[in-house]
Structure 1
Amino acid sequence: MARRDSIDIGELTDPAFYILLSVMDEKHGYLIMKTIAELTNNKVTIGPASLYTTLKKILVAELVELHITNDTKKTYKITQKGYDMLKDEVERKKEMIKLAECFLNN
């Protein structure tokens, strides 16, 4: 049986999470990588291979849209579907943290 992608089951990988967060405003690839590093104080960095592999997956899932400018520069922006999935992921992670805190604070 083929392994299902996390997006198929309604979950985001960490790279997908950070990419969606960074493309609330339209950005090109290098700026996405730079924004993620800045948002996380360089605790999270995503290289070009991981960035473009993940962008391809979230494009297919319609979580971001691709824009090509006149000078053929590709930029990406979150879609409503991507925004909704990002919000759901935040809620899922909050529940995970709440559960973990119950066990860790005993």
Structure 2
Amino acid sequence: MDKPYNYKKYIPLTESTYYILLALTEPLHGYGIMQKVDRLSEGSVEIGPGTLYGALQALEKEALIIKIGEEERRKIYALTEKGREILKQQVKRLSIMVRSGSVLE
């Protein structure tokens, strides 16, 4: 990676942001993102259109996602390299948390 990112600015991600970024590991339009978030979270996270489009605007402004095209008036979004790196850092953080929880076993 050419440029290190200030991960602390983004981590921890909110649950919604985490699942939106995770959904965008493949290019999708808004409705596709909502469906994939529902699948990935096994129904535990529901993102409505208002929340989703506000989040997409914020993520695009932060260069974590990019609009890559349109399909019948649907905007298609994808994860940027920066977004992928931030997502990897969040996954690493969550993995540490889960491992730490093993003290309960």
Same fold (TM over 0.5): yes
TM-score interval (norm. to shorter): 0.7 to 0.9
In structure 2, what is the Cα distance between the partners aligned to 1:54 and 1:7?
19
Residue deviations 1:3-30 (CA, integer Å, cap 9, x gap):
xxx9724321111110111111111101
Residue 27 of structure 2 is aligned to residue 26 of structure 1: yes
Identity of aligned residues (%): 31
Q: Do the aligned residues in 1 keep the contact of 2:10 with 2:86 (CA within 8 Å)? A: no
CA RMSD in angstroms, aligned pairs only = 2.0
**In the comparison of the two structures, how many residue pairs are matched?**
99
Aligned residue for 1:68, secondary structure, equals strand
Deviation at residue 96 of structure 1 after TM alignment: 1.4
1:86–1:9 Cα change, 3 Å: closer
1:70–1:48 Cα change, 3 Å: closer
In structure 2, what is the Cα distance between the partners aligned to 1:70 and 1:23?
16
The unaligned stretches of length 5 or more in structure 1 are 1-5
Bigger Rg over Cα = 1
Q: Which residue of 1 is the match for residue 3 of structure 2? A: none
Alignment of 1:1-106 (within 5 A): 8-69=9-70, 71-102=72-103, 104-105=104-105
Please report the TM-score for the alignment, with normalisation by the length of structure 2: 0.81
Aligned residue for 2:95, secondary structure, equals helix
The unaligned stretches of length 5 or more in structure 2 are 1-6
The residue identity in structure 2 corresponding to 1:94 is S
Deviation at residue 70 of structure 1 after TM alignment: 6.5
Deviation at residue 68 of structure 1 after TM alignment: 3.4
Aligned residue for 1:25, secondary structure, equals coil
Residue deviations 1:22-67 (CA, integer Å, cap 9, x gap):
1111111011001111222322211111111211221111110013
Q: Do the aligned residues in 2 keep the contact of 1:7 with 1:61 (CA within 8 Å)? A: no
Moved beyond 4 Å, runs of 4+: none
